[in-house]
Amino acid sequence: MRHLLSTADLSRTEALSILDTAEEMAAVSTREVKKLPTLRGRTVVNLFFEDSTRTRISFEAAAKRLSADVMNFSAKGSSVSKGESLKDTVQTLEAIGADAIVMRHWASGAAAQLAASDWTDCAVINAGDGTHEHPTQALLDALTLRRGWTAAQGADPRCADLSGMRVLIVGDILHSRVARSNIWLLRTLGAEVGLVAPATLLPVGVEKWPVSVFYSLDEALASGPEGGPDAVMMLRVQAERMGGAYFPTAAEYTRRWGLTDERLAQLEHHRTAAGAQPMILHPGPMNRGVEISAAAADSPMNQVLDQVSHGVSVRMAVLHLLLSSSERNTA
Amino acid sequence: MRTTSTAPTLILGARPYGEEPTDILLAEGRILAMGEQARVQAQELEQVQELDAAGLIALPGMVDLHTHLREPGREDAETVETGGRAAAKGGFTAVHAMANSSPVADTAGVVEQVHRLGRESGWTEVYPVGAVTVGLAGEKLAELGAMAESSAQVRMFSDDGMCVHNPVLMRRALEYVKTVDGFIAQHAQEPLLTEGAQMNEGDVSAVLGLPGWPAVAEESIIARDVLLAQHVGSRLHICHVSTAGSVEIIRWAKQRGIDVTAEVTPHHLLLTDELVRGYDPVYKVNPPLRTTADVEALRHGLADGTIDVVGTDHAPHPTQAKECEWSAAAMGMTGLETALPVVIKTMIATGLMDWRRFAEVTSEAPARIYRHSQQGRPLQPGEPANLILVDAESTQTVDPTGHASKGRNSPFRGMQLPGSVRATFLHGHPVVLDGELNSPYLPSQTQREVTS
């Protein structure tokens, strides 16, 4: 593995290797000295063409815990806002001596273009590209799901996949890079995926995806052999979709697709095959009162803070695996 | 000033339309004689150049109804001179320069400028297309009459790149061009259905997370416009048809006797949206690359006459316009120098058409649509000597760095394609010989040397 661009490119073996490495990294994060020397002398650049403080500080924490030098390059206030091309920006970073580029970009495919170009030899990590993919988010979600799934069965998370697990992804699938990355990774790991959304927020062609599609959240929450899901992943509704173009009003969206108090109560009473309560995930930041009620946001079933800490572990694992395998190129 | 110094040419053993070999004598801008008479009459002329064309196919010079020459305004992308060279090398003896220059070709002044640049360049005939609306803005009609009466004598009007989407304006444009015996070439794209669109909407766009461009955005405009053309009894040409549904609508319209003609580009005959998976902007084009089913429908539509012509939509762009993020990249691909091989690959090599039909769709039909008298004529004695010699047996790997166009944005880069243009005669003058540029046709000036 030279770059991490898309979960669609990951084999089951590669995905499990990242997740198992992330488990080891998580153990480091609980120590008093939360630092490993593995990437000492290596330079990681966070190249962000779009604001995302959460993702950036997560990558920054991950790189620093591996002792890498970290540079943050934000498009705002840099020459990019004056019209510098991606090519020139990246060649500049290459000249400064970057070993890995973690890139968040507003354009779908920007990370893939960078990796395919001859502009840089850096390892490229896609930290979200347009409405395409966000692979480290999917990996941290998978780490979270695997922890819960195996804990309920009293099993060791290491080497386990998600076979038999049923995961619902609810919300704006059409514009969600998180959803796309999760769908491919969850399927690779053996989980069943259900998508729940108004038809306006599902892509044309979704019927060919290896998923079930529900227009009704209530129907989806009652589906399956156990009469309910093992996990529900709520996606953030972007403010710009709420103007009446994709659904009439935020209130109608909440009534039909929100995780309301009533639906939370239904989930609280549901038991998975292993006898556990279903997990609730959200990539954050949450719109309380829109896609998720305050009670659901604060519920002990909600994994949102675990997801954040797992994000650091997964990103440490990815940086470690990409940079230690490319060491000979830069030595 | 003197007239052209072109010597007569005796073409030996070429196969007109791929049929029996014959000799063809060109003199004074015309096909003087063919067959045995060619040699006989050549003996009566002086300085006859003999050209061994054994194995080569003779075809009428190709006519492109859809070319972007970028001049005036974007001379960094292409000029009339460089685009003319590309046209000659590609086998085109006439091109029609779309109106989206800067300034837009929406006045008599601009179309006369483009027309004059074409005459001074001399590599191909250049016919400017006039804009339908002022500034291509889709708000009010440009002075179509003034452009028609100008020295450029414009007959084809198009807002290409933009759709004349206002139905009332489209109706008025269709009616108005009747007064100058012109026609409207519509770029069929409903703007609200394609806001921010980046590629064909379908299975691939769903995975790539790129905003989709639904087929219905093209088809709904074509359906509306054929009905408008029927209602007002005017001539309508549909640019770069790209979907199977569009082919069906046009077939239906023709069955009803509506005066509509249609065009397909070489790239839509060969390439599909699967190529977008790598996000290489060289594949970004408007209308977008569609699916295999669309490609099949377009090929059959071209073979059965539903689609009348091949138009290149040659759209050169400077490197930086394609060396960037997909959604920031310019739309368009070069096409003049690859059109013939791509049509051979998709239509001749597949057995879908013969060389007679090839001559129709690349030359005769586009010339008839424009009502040219000196282009798209049969290969017969007395006809104008606008013709090409093609080596259909050769194959070559496309290398855009060797193209005469300034544009390097060829989607066929690296592909092995059959067939090549060996010679192009413009009014009897060899603008291309041995597959290379020779010299321009300058009837009222001293012949110039090829400088690069």
Domains of chain B: which residue ranges?
9-58+381-437, 61-370
Coil vs helix vs strand at A125: strand
A20 and A95: one domain? yes
Q: Is B314 exposed, middle or buried (0-12, 13-18, 19+ CB in 10 A)?
A: buried
Rounded Cα distance, A135 and B57, in Å: 55
Q: What is the pLDDT of residue A242?
A: 75
A109 and A216: one domain? no
In a domain, A31, yes or no: yes
> Of the candidates A92, A98, A34, A36, which has an alpha carbon nearest to the alpha carbon of residue A70?
A98
Share of chain B above pLDDT 90, in %: 96
A123 and A211: one domain? no
Q: What is the pLDDT of residue B3?
A: 45
Mean per-residue pLDDT, B323-349: 97
Alpha-helix residue ranges (DSSP H) falling in B263-327: 266-270, 292-304
Asked whether the beta carbons of residue B210 and residue A116 sit closer than 8 angstroms, the reply is no
Q: Which are the contacts of B227, defined by CB distance < 8 A and separation ≥ 6?
A: none
Q: Which are the contacts of B282, defined by CB distance < 8 A and separation ≥ 6?
A: B322, B333, B409, B410, B411, B413
Instruction: Say whether pLDDT at B191 is over 90.
Output: yes
**What predicted TM-score, i.e. pTM, was given to this entire model?**
0.94
A143 and A274: one domain? yes
Instruction: Say whether pLDDT at A43 is over 50.
Output: yes
Phi, psi (degrees; rounded to nearest 5) at B254 = -65, -35
Identify the band that residue B226 occupies on the pLDDT scale cut at 50, 70 and 90. very high
Q: What is the pLDDT of residue A208?
A: 96
Residue appearing with tokens 């390097």: B408
Rounded Cα distance, A178 and B242, in Å: 32
Rounded Cα distance, B36 and B40, in Å: 7
**Nearest-by-CA chain A residue for B327:** A107
A22 and A129: one domain? yes
A128 and A45: one domain? yes
Q: What is the pLDDT of residues B259-277, one digit of tens each?
A: 999 999 999 999 999 999 9
In a domain, A1, yes or no: no
- Considering CB atoms only, which of A105, A109, A204 is closest to B206? A204
Rounded Cα distance, A234 and A280, in Å: 7
Query: Exposed e or buried b for every residue in B393-410, given b needs 16+ CB within 10 A?
Result: eeeeebebeebbbbbbbb
Identify the band that residue A330 occupies on the pLDDT scale cut at 50, 70 and 90. very low
Are the beta carbons of A138 and A9 closer than 8 angstroms? no
A202 and A225: one domain? yes
Identify the band that residue A326 occupies on the pLDDT scale cut at 50, 70 and 90. low
- Considering CB atoms only, which of B206, B279, B326 is closest to A205? B206
Residues in chain A within 8 Å Cβ distance of B291: none
Number of CB atoms found within 10 A of residue A66's CB: 25
Strands of the A123-129 sheet, one edge to the other: A69-74, A43-48, A100-105, A123-129
Question: What size, in residues, is chain B?
Answer: 452
Asked whether the beta carbons of residue A113 and residue B279 sit closer than 8 angstroms, the reply is yes
Our count of domains for chain A comes to: 2
In a domain, A2, yes or no: no
Instruction: Enumerate residues 208 to 237 of chain A having a beta carbon within 8 A of any beta carbon in chain B.
Output: 208-209
Q: What is the pLDDT of residues A238-289, one digit of tens each?
A: 877 777 789 999 999 999 999 999 999 999 999 999 899 999 999 989 999 9
Mean per-residue pLDDT, B272-299: 98
> Of the candidates A143, A125, A127, A181, which has an alpha carbon nearest to the alpha carbon of residue A4?
A125
A110 and A205: one domain? no
Q: Which are the contacts of B235, defined by CB distance < 8 A and separation ≥ 6?
A: B174, B177, B178, B182, B183, B184, B229, B259, B260, B261
Are the beta carbons of B180 and B169 closer than 8 angstroms? no
Fold of B61-370: TIM Barrel (3.20.20)
A42 and A84: one domain? yes
A187 and A219: one domain? yes
Q: What is the pLDDT of residues A287-313, one digit of tens each?
A: 999 999 999 999 999 999 999 999 999
A145 and A188: one domain? yes
The domain in which residue A211 lies consists of 135-307
| A112 contacts chain B (CB < 8 A) | yes
Alpha-helix residue ranges (DSSP H) falling in B122-243: 144-149, 167-177, 203-208, 215-232
Catalytic residue list contains B159 = no
Higher-scoring residue by pLDDT: B451, B267: B267
A143 and A128: one domain? no
Homologous superfamily of B9-58+381-437:
Urease, subunit C, domain 1 (2.30.40.10)
Q: What is the pLDDT of residue A82?
A: 62
Average pLDDT value for chain B = 96
Q: Which are the contacts of B368, defined by CB distance < 8 A and separation ≥ 6?
A: B376
Q: What is the pLDDT of residue B431?
A: 98
Residues in a beta bridge with B333: B314
CATH code: domain of residue A291: 3.40.50.1370
